[in-house]
């Protein structure tokens, strides 16, 4: 089994990378800056995405985990915050970057026997749970959720399953030290969710611990 995880240099991505390595899977991780054990990938740069796909030419990918993401607007005020360039950067990473990776790596997924795509979104994507604030992050993660749901429909005839996941409130650079679970705990739960993902459940939006999340 070959797994590719974007944004695998820290937090949830690194925990997933370590978890799959412990399983004995062939796992490839990416980071924006070239690192010794990670492939270089900037999901906001189309050329970077196509370069990665070309480097992996001919290799099947069983599971693509679209984890790379940013939370640019934490603490922004409605009155004088949320500048346009922050919106552009947030959507370029959290939405367009997800699509570009899936688009470029689709030939690799098609070579796998039971290909799967996992999109790391957030409970902050939910329309039903909308307490306000963090408008860029919420909107971009909602768009990633919508993207995943529609891709699930488009890719189902090819038997490529797509799942969207809330990883929990994770103690990471994004979640902060006061978050409720460790990256390892989140990764363990997410790996179980990815194992369970199939064409029959494609389009699901689930929490790291296996609950269906409200849309």
Q: Which CATH number fits domain 2-207: 3.10.20.600, 3.40.50.720, 3.30.365.10, 3.60.15.10?
A: 3.40.50.720
Q: Among residues of the chain, what percentage have pLDDT more than 70?
A: 95
- Report pLDDT digits (tens) over 79-102: 889 999 999 999 999 999 999 999
Domain ranges of the chain: 2-207
- pLDDT-derived band at 35 (thresholds 50, 70, 90) equals confident
For residue 158 the two structure tokens come to: 């090819």
Beta sheet of 63-66, edge-to-edge order: 39-40, 26-31, 2-5, 63-66, 116-120, 161-166, 205-207
Higher pLDDT, 120 or 74: 120
> Whats the size of the chain, residue-wise?
215
The C-alpha atoms of residue 32 and residue 38 are separated, in whole angstroms, by 9
Compute and round to an integer the Cα radius of gyration of the chain: 16
The C-alpha atoms of residue 22 and residue 17 are separated, in whole angstroms, by 9
- Report pLDDT digits (tens) over 135-181: 999 999 999 999 999 999 999 999 999 999 999 877 655 555 555 78
């Amino acid at each position: 089994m070959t797994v590719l995880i974007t944004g695998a240099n820290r937090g949830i991505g690194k925990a997933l990378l370590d978890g799959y390595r412990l399983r004995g899977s062939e796992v490839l991780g990416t980071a924006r800056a070239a690192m010794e054990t990670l492939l270089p990938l900037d999901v906001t740069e189309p050329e970077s995405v196509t370069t990665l796909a070309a480097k992996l030419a001919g290799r099947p990918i069983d599971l693509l985990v679209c984890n790379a993401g940013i939370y640019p607007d934490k603490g922004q005020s409605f009155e004088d915050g949320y500048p346009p360039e922050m919106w552009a950067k947030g959507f370029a990473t959290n939405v367009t970057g997800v699509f570009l990776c899936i688009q470029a790596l689709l030939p690799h997924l098609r070579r796998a026997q039971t290909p799967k795509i996992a999109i790391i979104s957030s409970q902050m994507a939910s329309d039903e749970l909308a307490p306000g604030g963090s408008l860029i992050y919420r909107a971009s993660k909602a768009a990633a959720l919508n993207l995943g749901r529609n891709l699930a429909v488009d890719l189902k005839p090819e038997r490529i399953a797509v799942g969207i996941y809330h990883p929990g409130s994770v103690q990471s650079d994004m979640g902060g030290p006061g978050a409720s679970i460790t990256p390892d705990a989140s990764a363990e739960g997410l790996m179980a969710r990815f194992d369970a993902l199939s064409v029959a459940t494609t389009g699901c939006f689930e929490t790291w611990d296996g609950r269906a999340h409200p849309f």
